Amino acid sequence: MISMLRGQLIEETIDSLVLDVRGVGYELTCSATSIAAVSGKEVVQLWVHTHVREDQISLFGFSNPSEKKFFLSLIKVNGIGPKMAVQVLSAAPYDKILKMIDEGDVKALVALPKIGKKKAEQIVLTLKGQLVFADNNEVGSSFVARADIVSALVNLGFRLTDVEKTVDQMPKETDLQAGVRQGLAALTAGL
């Protein structure tokens, strides 16, 4: 699986880039945000998601790992495929979309292209409270899926309902290691 590519930018379109990596041209579907971030640069680095279907292999490129993580969260939502996720990411900066989801703002999500009311509700239902981002809108290393903390604690044998209550009380910027430690402390305190 291709995770990252660094090469010479040889072609740009409104929704894709072509990189020459040691004589091999890779076409990557990208959001408008990622295209704008690398536009005009000679050598670029893109984080890549390789999407495999029966009839094709597609590459999706991102200018930073946080946008890729958000894209991967979006495609886990029922009814949202990779192309639709890229369209959503092209419609607004992803930190604003994250805020819409975190606030449960279905009306704002419906304003995004290809997102109807049912899809917006599904996005909120699936991702609200599962994504963490910094309050200063700098989405970087603090972007972590709360689902990872929940998953780790459930895999350690705790009940899902207890784990979700515990994780909901943690600060949004809690990383995976700290979340698991805090969760273990809280969940074993009553034993």
Q: Name the most confidently modeled range: 24-28, 116-120, 147-151.
A: 24-28
At 151-180, the pLDDT tens digits run 778 778 888 788 878 888 888 778 778 888
Q: The whole model's pTM is what?
A: 0.67
In whole angstroms, what is the distance from residue 63 CA to residue 140 CA?
12
Side chain identity, residue 176: L
